[in-house]
Amino acid sequence: MRRALLIGVAVLLVVGAGGYAMRGTIAIALMKIAAARAITADAVETFPDGLTVVLCGAGSPLADPQRSGPCVAVVAGKRLYEVDAGDGAGRNLTRLGLPPGRVSALFLTHFHSDHIDGLGELTVLRWAGGSHHDPLPIVGPTGVEQVVDGFNAAYALDTGYRIAHHGPAVVPPEGHGGVARPFDLPAPGDGAVVWSAEGLTVTAFAVKHDPVTPAVGYKFEYGGRVVVISGDTAKSENLQRFATNADLLVHEGLSRELVGVMHAAAEAAGRTNVAKILSDIPGYHTDPVEVAEIAAAAKVRHLLFYHVIPPLLVPGSEAAFLHGVDAIYKGGVTLGRDGTQIELPRDSTTVAVTQRAF
């Protein structure tokens, strides 16, 4: 028995040593498989007809390994749209099998840096990945022109390099960058239809993010299903009005209790500048319990938290973030992270939640 065991161990060692020596060859073989899958990946084609929401960024400016800068992908039928372009938005789309070349339009909720700092990369990935002859439509309230013009100017040299290197057939010169599609901030109670195509209607409405103005949320309607995305906002009656009877409310959330812990730590460390910022931000965001109050009053079918503040890095912090929510809102609740996906098939009441690994 002992002899057989020793022989078995020796065989495993020989096989292991051979595998180690061949690791480069094995890696190339595996990469061929992975590359073929990555290049042909297109999750859009796998979704049911209806609305599908995928968080390509569930976080805030504060670093969280599970939550990148704010980015919400919305698929209506077979058309891919995006709300906000936080850091890593374009790369996360690719990792999730949502080709940036398929993005039909980008909607900006406001112009805070964490909602636009991935915009330049997104436009390049869309342009090169789709060989587009038209710039990316970037829809936003008045001021979006300045943002788009700035990114186009910043990427002008890069654009020239890529055309010279790859040729105009691959990267058509007229398709680079973005083109602004501005609209006036609607008055409270009013909405502005900012997109209407192929059965999809997108309506913008004002939210409360003072002193940041303009700031809006968006309502997506397609196939008898409704998704409302808050953008950054304090508790907003106007948002509640537009979210009434929505299938899915995608709402930002800031835990005042957890941010208070960070504030106390900053003060104790003598970091007065950080402490001041942490004392300021709760005033223009919404506590999870307040979000639950909105969801309950609006009678939404499902609630998805994104733009999660602060980072939830220690065991139990997700439970602390959601504390008190289930006592107020009795519908389905999902605390989002990058890759959270919710499918709303057309003309139904189904809400299918999955967490995609990537």
Residue 323 CA to residue 300 CA, distance in Å, equals: 19
| E runs forming strands in 184-224 | 192-197, 200-206, 216-222
pLDDT tens per residue across all 358 residues of the chain? 566 555 554 544 444 555 566 778 877 886 776 667 667 789 999 999 999 999 999 999 999 999 999 999 999 999 999 999 999 999 999 999 999 999 999 999 999 999 999 999 999 999 999 999 999 999 999 999 999 999 999 999 999 999 999 999 999 999 999 999 999 999 999 999 999 999 999 999 999 999 999 999 999 999 999 999 999 999 999 999 999 999 999 999 999 999 999 999 999 999 999 999 999 999 999 999 999 999 999 999 999 999 999 999 999 999 999 999 999 999 999 999 999 999 999 999 999 999 998 7
Question: Is 134 a catalytic site residue?
Answer: no
Q: Report the pLDDT value the prediction gives residue 230, as an integer from 0 to 100.
A: 98
What's the gap between Cα 156 and its chain centre?
A: 26
Tokens 């808050």 -> residue: 230
pLDDT, averaged across the chain: 94
Residue 101 CA to residue 85 CA, distance in Å, equals: 15
Q: Report the pLDDT value the prediction gives residue 39, as an integer from 0 to 100.
A: 72
Secondary structure percentages of the chain, helix, strand, coil, to 5 = 40, 25, 35
Q: Which of 64, 114, 232, 247 is catalytic?
A: 114
Instruction: Judge whether 60 and 114 are in contact, CB under 8 Å.
Output: yes
Tokens 């789709």 -> residue: 130
Q: What is the pLDDT of residues 153-174, one digit of tens each?
A: 999 999 999 999 999 999 999 9
User: Which residue pairs, CB below 8 angstroms and at least 24 apart, start in 28-35?
Assistant: none
Instruction: Judge whether 329 and 298 are in contact, CB under 8 Å.
Output: no
Residue 161 CA to residue 165 CA, distance in Å, equals: 6
Q: How many CB atoms lie within 10 A of CB 322?
A: 18
Q: What is the DSSP pairing of strand 136-141 with strand 103-107?
A: parallel
Q: What is the pLDDT of residues 291-329, one digit of tens each?
A: 999 999 999 999 999 999 999 999 999 999 999 999 999
Q: What is the DSSP pairing of strand 178-183 with strand 50-57?
A: unpaired
Picking from 261, 250, 218, the residue whose alpha carbon sits closest to that of residue 334 is 250
Instruction: Judge whether 76 and 221 are in contact, CB under 8 Å.
Output: no
Q: How many CB atoms lie within 10 A of CB 112?
A: 19
Quick one: what percent of the chain has pLDDT higher than 70? 92
Alpha-carbon distance values, 63 to 58, 60, 101, 122, 256 (Å): 11, 7, 27, 20, 18
What's the gap between Cα 235 and its chain centre?
A: 21
Please report, to the nearest 10 degrees, the dihedral formed by the alpha carbons of residues 333, 57, 308, 302 taken in order: -20
Q: 43-355: what CATH class?
A: alpha beta
Kindly give, in sequence order, each residue whose CB lies less than 8 Å from that of residue 154, ignoring residues fewer than 6 positions away: 120
Domain ranges (residues) in the chain: 43-355
Count of positions (residues) in the chain: 358
- Count Cβ atoms within 10 A of the Cβ of residue 226 and give its class: 0-12 exposed, 13-18 middle, 19 or more buried: buried
Number of H helices, E strands in the chain: 12, 15
